[in-house]
Each structure stands twice: as C-alpha cells, then as structure tokens.
Amino acid sequence: MQIKIEKTKNPKQKPDQSNLGFGKYFTDHMFIVDYAEGKGWHDARIIPYQPLSLDPATSVFHYGQAIFEGMKAYLSAEGKILLFRPRKNMERINSSDDRMSMPLIDVDFGVEAIKTLVKLDRDWIPTADGTSLYIRPFIISTDPALGVRASNTYKFIIILSPVGAYYPQGIAPVKIYVEPEYVRAVRGGTGYAKAAGNYAGSMKAQSIAAKKGYVQVLWLDGVERKYIEEVGAMNVFFKVKGEVVTPALEGSILPGITRESVIFLLKHWGMKVSERKISIHELQEAHNKGELEEAFGTGTAAVISPIGELSWNGSRMVLNYGNTGDVAHKLYDMLTGIQFGRLKDEFGWTVKVE
C-alpha cells in the first residue's frame, strides 16, 4: 500500500530538550490508515498533526475498542535512527487486535509506516542524554452506532512524541505501592492485550498510591490477590538469593518486549532466571531474611527502572538500601547501549530507519 504524504506548512516550535517529561509534545505529522469491512485497510496517509473529527456515537467512546503500542526511535552518535525490535510491537498489536475483535494489520506494512513517519519527523528526535522519540501507534473503532458489537470500521494512527524519563525522578529508584484491593486483570480477560480499558481500570489504584507518595502500583493476581503480576507500565523482576525471578506469562500480564529482551540477556550472561509464580508473602519473607537483593521494572517508557521501596500491608520493604542494584545497572547499560547504537548489536535487535 502506498503512503501519501502531505507535509505541514506550519512546522511547530520544538520543545526545550532539558524538560521534555513524557508524552507532552507531539511532532509535525501523524500517520493514518482506515479500515472498512469488505475493503480492508486503505487510504494510508501522513498528514500534518491535527485533531480528529468523530461522531459522538463513535463506538470507541462507548464500548472502548481501542488498543495501543509503545516503542521508541533512538538517534545514535553517528546520526543513525534506530528502532528496537519493531516487528515485536506490530505482532503484539495483532495479538491485542485479536483479543479485542479488531482487524489484524500486516506487520511489515506497520513497520514501514512507522519508519516513513519517523524519517519525515527525524528533526524531532531529541539528542539530550536519556531522551528519545516515543512512538505511539494505536487503533480505534469508528462505527457511529450504539449497538454492542464489534465495529466494522477502524483507524490505525501513529503519533510521535519527543520524551525524557518516564518517571519524574529520572532513573533513580522508584517507590511502588502493592495494591491490596483493586485488581488489573484475570486469566481469560484482556490483561495480555495492550487494550486502553486495562489502563482506564487502573487509574483509581494509581491515584490512591500517588496520594500515599508512591509512583506506581504493583498488581497482585485477580483471584487470590497473592501472586505478583506487574506494575502499571512495566514488568517486574526480583533478585532473590542470586536468582532472578519474574512472573510467568499466564494471560493476565503484558508480554513486555523489554521483559523478553532482559530474560534473554540474563540467560546470555549465564545468570539463573526463572519465570514462575511468585507471591508477595515469598517476597516479604525473602526481604525479612535479607535475601531480596534487588527489584526492577522493565518497559519501553520506563527502560530499566530500579525499585527502591515496596509498600505492602502497612510495611515498607526498602530494597538494596534504596539504591540501584548491580543487575539493574548492568541491564540498563547493555540495553540502552544497544538501543542507542553505542554497543554492538549481537542479537539483531535494532533496525535502521534509513
């Protein structure tokens, strides 16, 4: 499919790179392709960044058929634009689409659309340390109809945002609140999909945690409220007595691309890693015995984010004296080294945009 390009006549002023925050600024262009039952995906175009005009009855507003992705473009010291495992994001879009009864999209076409848009807005890729261009592909249902059924029409849109660190404290260890009451997902639900509704349902616990001074929530399983699932925007890893443990993928957590890459790297380094059930009680016991050596989260936005403190049931578990652990440090250096082209990419993870 050809992508038509209409360039903006009014380029925007670029933001100050020292104060980007996360997802507050958007580039000059956006990508859109439409879908209609019987016609498939059609009319792929890049247009100046602008608001969408949608009928108030549009199905996404009422029944929430909406999924999204998150990835980044990195500028190397030699000025090359690099993407990190972009096919994985497009494959996950299809897994989310399938769960939400939305139409699948060709993986190669999706990657091509991302590359074309990033190339056009390449001057927006920030260069300050720790910054990158966040890529947000998403799909929404667009039938203007109130019947509860899968829509017959959709839009796949890509927008770009120059970003700094996801958490306001940068890469310093974060404080996380273990949520005792609300749950994010259950097996058989939509937890493994990057469905907008999963995030809508998480905001209440998130604001309770924020009021208590915690940046994100650590979810427990939806049935027994006992086993660790994941954090609001990242998967979690714990190092207990030399072994790195992360919750197994059982349908209720997001299969993170950073998670997969981290497991691969740890195994490559010869470390003991297991994907299994891990209960909050096991963690607390390990902490009491001094065996919980470090904890960190992984995600595109969060990169490798050390966890300095977990609050559970009124008690505070301070990890590694609130400092970044060695494993988190080594993973951060390796992963960002590959992503920014500072280190040799032995695993074929990076894709050049031009």
Q: Site residues (CB under 6 A) for ligand PLP?
A: 70, 230, 233-235, 254, 256-259, 298-300
CA torsion, ordered 30, 335, 193, 225, to nearest 10 deg: -140
Stretch binding ligand COI (CB under 6 A), from 36-44, 154-162, 207-215, 293-301: 293-301
User: What residues are paired with 228 via a beta bridge?
Assistant: 220
With CB under 5 to 8 Å by kind, the binding choice for 230 among ligand PLP, ligand COI, none is ligand PLP
Residue keyed to tokens 């072994």: 243
Q: How many CB atoms lie within 10 A of CB 250?
A: 14
- Residue 164 binds ligand COI, judged by CB under 6 A: no
Nearest partner of 283 among 203, 220, 192, 216, judged by Cα:
220
Nearer to ligand PLP, 259 or 287 (CB): 259
Q: Please tell me whether residue 300 binds ligand COI under the rule CB under 6 A.
A: yes
CA pair distance 324, 330, nearest whole angstrom: 10
Q: Closest separation between CB of residue 295 and ligand COI, Å?
A: 18
Residue 350 found at the interface with ligand COI (CB under 6 A): no
> In the bound complex, what is the minimum distance in angstroms from residue 134's beta carbon to ligand COI?
7
Task: Pick one of ligand PLP, ligand COI, none as the site partner of residue 259 (Cβ within 5 to 8 A by kind).
Answer: ligand PLP
What whole-number distance in Å separates Cα of residue 210 and Cα of residue 199?
Answer: 15
Q: Does the protein bind ligand COI through residue 191 (CB under 6 A)?
A: no
Stretch (H or E) spanning 93: helix 86-99
Least distance in angstroms from the C-beta of 125 to ligand PLP: 19
Q: Any contact of residue 196 with ligand COI (CB under 6 A)?
A: no
In the list 25, 30, 67, 70, the residue contacting ligand COI (rule: CB under 6 A) is: 70
Tokens read off for 122: 């390449």
- DSSP code string of 111-164: HHHHHHHHHHTGGGS--STT-EEEEEEEEEE--B--SSS--SEEEEEEEEEEE-
Does residue 103 bind ligand COI (CB under 6 A)?
no
* Residue 256 contact, options ligand COI, ligand PLP, none, Cβ 5-8 Å cut-off depending on partner type: ligand PLP
Choosing from 185, 301, 307, 328, the residue that interacts with ligand COI (CB under 6 A) is: 301
Question: Is the Cβ of residue 70 or residue 325 nearer to ligand COI in the bound state?
Answer: 70
In order of 62, 115, 235, 336, the CA distances from 349 in angstroms are: 38, 15, 19, 12
Binding residues vs ligand COI (CB under 6 A): 70, 233, 299-301
